Every structure is written in structure tokens, then in C-alpha cells.
Amino acid sequence: MKLFSKVAPVLTLLALALSLSAQSKDAKTTRVSMADARKTALASSNGKIKSEELEKEKGKQIYSFDIEMPDGLHEVNVDAATGKLIDDKIENAADEAKEAAQDKKEAAKKAKKAAATKPNVQ
């Protein structure tokens, strides 16, 4: 028990340092602001933005926008490092369901990883 009380703070600091390191790395690859990325996305598909997020896709930081257009929902992706338009495609219901399932899977993976790095304090 004494050993655990000495090791727990070290493990906590290590987990915090790893978390900050990951955030710092993401911040370095994100050179374009959300506002600038939004302008680029709306220049491609000038509609109403339904959602927007910064995410990692295929190992790359991107801004993803769902934009409502008369011909359907467009998913517009902008490179977070360069600000260039990567993709503008119309999503159908099947595409949206597939993306939602993938997001859920990734969230579960992150939660599992976070739980594994937390010290078990009793």
C-alpha cells in the first residue's frame, strides 16, 4: 500500500504529461483557425453550416463541416495545416450513419485508452 501511494502521483503526472504532449502536437499541426477554414468551406458550398469540428482523419488534422445545400448535405473538409479545401461531397443517409458509427467506435477507443492510463486509486 505504501508503494502504491508513492507510485500513484508519478503515474498521474506521467498521464498528464502525455496528454499535454498530444495536445501540443495537435496545436502545432493546426495552423489555420476555425473561422478561416469556415470561410473556405462556405466558398465551396455556400449554405447553412449544420456542424463543424476539428478532427483527425487518415492521420491528418482537418476541419470538417456539414453544410445544408438545396441538393443535400455537403461534407466539406479543409486541411487544418494549409487551409486548402480537401473534399466537398454530398452525404446521403447511409454515409452519415457510417460516419456516426465510426465516430462512436473512435470515442470508445479513446475512452478505453484514457481508462487504461488512469491510476486505479482505492
What are the residue boundaries of the structural domains of the chain, listed by start? 1-30, 31-117
**Cα(32)–Cα(85) distance, integer angstroms:** 12
In whole angstroms, what is the distance from residue 5 CA to residue 100 CA?
Answer: 41
- Output the CATH code of domain 31-117: 3.10.450.40
Angular region, 118: left φ>0, alpha ψ -120 to 50, beta rest: beta
Cell numbers for 17, please give them. Answer: 504529461
Q: Which residue intervals of the chain are DSSP H helices?
A: 2-29, 34-44, 93-117
What string of pLDDT tens digits covers the 122 residues of the chain?
565 456 555 545 555 555 544 444 555 567 999 999 999 999 999 999 999 999 998 889 999 999 999 988 999 999 999 999 999 999 877 877 887 888 888 889 888 888 888 766 66
The model carries a pTM of: 0.60
